[in-house]
Amino acid sequence: MQNLVIEIDKITKFYHVGTETVKALQGVSLSIKRGEYVAIMGPSGSGKSTLMNMIGALDTPTGGRYVLNGTDVSRLSDDSLAEIRNKEIGFVFQTFNLLPRYTALENAMLPLIYAGLPKNERIKLGKEVMEKVALTDRMEHRPNEMSGGQRQRVAVARALVNNPSIILADEPTGNLDSKTSVDIMRLFNQIHQSGNTIILVTHEEEIAQHAHRIIRLRDGLIESDTMNEKITISN
């Protein structure tokens, strides 16, 4: 096992729109160790989601190098990207991104279908993660039969079901009220304590304060990268 799960060296991401070039990332370097809990902050348009897409192997950078768990992913084909993504990364999005026709349990089990696991195995692991997010009483509910917080817990269950090395969350509390956000953050704390690496994007200082390290982006560059003293001291 690698101690560094993420090694990013001077990555850039340029988007071409018409005749214009948008420099979303202008040379970001960063390493993240196994078991870290990192918050990414910064103004709208500063490149947070673009960086998350790179880290999550949803897209490849224009330039620079990205090594994920020892594999150089900056130049992989789409198929290999999909494979590594399915194995290493669990995603949680602001808008939950659940499939409406599927039950909570079926949504949570989805990544296991891509992983090619037999059905009885999938159900067993699915139920285990539903227990982790405290939703065993909602397994047969469809997304529109659940509250926002419960939907996000299903999304967290889905992110965990493959036992990925990294959980990536882009504004996971962005559509939740403050009380429900606290519940979700408590869940992330538990997941972190059980050994996962967590990287989350947030606009809210209060949410970022759960993380042990806070990285601030501005105009596609890292403006600051500091340990969160409130947490590191109390530990």
Ligand X SMILES: Nc1ncnc2c1ncn2[C@@H]1O[C@H](COP(=O)(O)OP(=O)(O)OP(=O)(O)O)[C@@H](O)[C@H]1O
- Which residues of the shown chain bind Mg ion in the complex (CB under 5 A)? 48-49
> What's the CA gap between 89 and 167, in Å, rounded?
6
Q: How far is the CB of 128 from ligand X (least distance, A)?
A: 32
Q: Which does 17 bind (CB under 5 to 8 A by kind): Mg ion, ligand X, none?
A: ligand X
Residue 16 burial (10 A CB sphere; 0-12, 13-18, 19+): exposed
**Sheet of 197-201, strand order:** 89-93, 166-170, 197-201, 37-41, 213-218, 221-227
| Nearest distance in Å: CB 17, ligand X | 5
Binding-site partner at residue 44 among Mg ion, ligand X, none, CB < 5 to 8 Å by type: ligand X
Q: Nearer Cβ to ligand X, position 52 or 73?
A: 52
202 lies in the binding site for ligand X (CB under 6 A): no
Q: How many C-beta atoms lie closer than 10 Å to residue 84's C-beta?
A: 16
Q: Which is nearer to Mg ion, 49 or 74 (CB)?
A: 49
Beta bridge partners of 33: 4
- Minimum distance from residue 10 beta carbon to Mg ion (Å): 22
Burial of 83 (0-12, 13-18, 19+ CB in 10 A): middle
Any idea of the CA torsion for 149, 154, 155, 156, to the nearest 10 degrees? 90
Nearer to ligand X, 28 or 167 (CB): 28
Instruction: For the beta carbon of residue 171, count every other beta carbon within 10 angstroms.
Output: 20
User: CB 85 → ligand X: shortest distance, Å?
Assistant: 18
**Residues between 12 and 71 with contacts to ligand X, criterion CB under 6 A:** 15, 17, 22, 24, 42, 44-50
In the complex with ligand X, which residue's Cβ is closer, 22 or 227? 22
Contact positions vs ligand X (CB under 6 A): 15, 17, 22, 24, 42, 44-50
